[in-house]
Amino acid sequence: MNCKICHRPDTRVQYRLTKSELDVLRCGSCGFTFSDFRADESHLASDGHGPEGVPDAKPAYLEKFEVHLRELEPLVGPVRGKKVLDVGAGGGGWLAIAGRAGAHVEGIEFCEDCRKYAATVRGLNLRSEGIQENYWAERAGEFDFVTCWDVIEHVVDPVRFLSACCLALRPGGCFIFTTPVRDTWFDRVGGCAYRLSLGKAQFILRQRYSRIHLQIFHSAQLKGILREEGMQPVYYKKIQELSFPHEQYLRNVGFPTRWAHALGSMSEGALSVVPIANKVFGIFKKPASPN
């Protein structure tokens, strides 16, 4: 399988995740690491849209987005009066927060259940066209902010996706995102456990690579791709942020409910004392047009 980034046939198996029936490949030329699952981007499954419903219907999601807004505005200015496009908008949680702050908001979401929730609960009409499609190409340069919360790891063609997000921005606009990165202690511990157990300890790696987490960037490589798009970094920092309660991750990989609850509480306590970064939070600015 050729590398998704440099397209060279120089990939090798880094991890064999037997329970997930996946191989994690690493490119020997550029170092990109990705799952060998061949996904259809318009029909990606999600562990967040199962029996528990739309993920950002939960109060914790809105709290997370409120924190992001407080972090963002000192760096990029108020969102009031600005045009915001959220790519992978879920149930519209971030757009609801940005809209309350006075932004003009639009969003993209493939999941029909999420779009229905956004429409009926939040009054948001989310589009189903992907950011690479003609509808958005015809609106290039229109948005002040393009946001992308935990989406880059899900897309089939990440370079084309990032290029399309940048194209949607006006000169001076900002691309704002969170995504897991693999140059963290979280991933080092997962890789070390895998090697020491001769491939049997796969729990951490299965949280990172799956049929929905198609790739995990190295933070330097992700920054380099955005720089090649002409984007200038404003803020780029590793953070600890989990999208779901610890208990849910444990249930997702087969732990019984009682064990998942007990171990989830223990891990939440441990990580609150000793935080371990697992993502990067980035803001990149599109250069202003020359006068």
pLDDT digits (tens, 9 = 90+) for 190-215: 999 999 999 999 988 988 898 889 99
110 contacts 130 by C-beta, under 8 angstroms: yes
Model confidence over 33-86: pLDDT tens digits? 999 998 776 555 554 444 356 878 888 788 889 999 999 999 999 999 999 999
Claim to verify: residue 154 and residue 230 sit in the same structural domain = yes
pLDDT of residue 56: 83
Claim to verify: residue 221 and residue 270 sit in the same structural domain = no
How far apart CA 93 and CA 65 sit, in angstroms, is: 7
Q: Is residue 88 part of a domain?
A: yes
pTM: 0.88
Per the prediction, the chain carries an average pLDDT of: 87
How far apart CA 284 and CA 7 sit, in angstroms, is: 25
Q: Is residue 288 part of a domain?
A: yes
Q: Is residue 190 part of a domain?
A: no
Claim to verify: residue 60 and residue 78 sit in the same structural domain = yes
Claim to verify: residue 149 and residue 247 sit in the same structural domain = no
Claim to verify: residue 270 and residue 221 sit in the same structural domain = no
Claim to verify: residue 64 and residue 85 sit in the same structural domain = yes
Average pLDDT over residues 139-164: 96
For 249, the domain range is 241-275
Q: What is the total count of domains within the chain?
A: 2
Q: Is residue 87 part of a domain?
A: yes
114 contacts 49 by C-beta, under 8 angstroms: yes
Claim to verify: residue 159 and residue 74 sit in the same structural domain = yes
Q: Is residue 90 part of a domain?
A: yes
96 contacts 124 by C-beta, under 8 angstroms: yes
pLDDT of residue 47: 45
Q: Pick the residue with more confidence: 45 or 186?
A: 186
Claim to verify: residue 95 and residue 229 sit in the same structural domain = yes
213 contacts 35 by C-beta, under 8 angstroms: yes
Q: Is the pLDDT of residue 269 over 60?
A: no
Claim to verify: residue 157 and residue 111 sit in the same structural domain = yes
Claim to verify: residue 147 and residue 173 sit in the same structural domain = yes
Q: Is residue 123 part of a domain?
A: yes
- Of 52-56, 108-112, 135-139, 187-191, the poorest mean pLDDT is in 52-56
Q: What is the CATH number of the domain that holds 72?
A: 3.40.50.150
Claim to verify: residue 93 and residue 171 sit in the same structural domain = yes
Q: Is residue 248 part of a domain?
A: yes
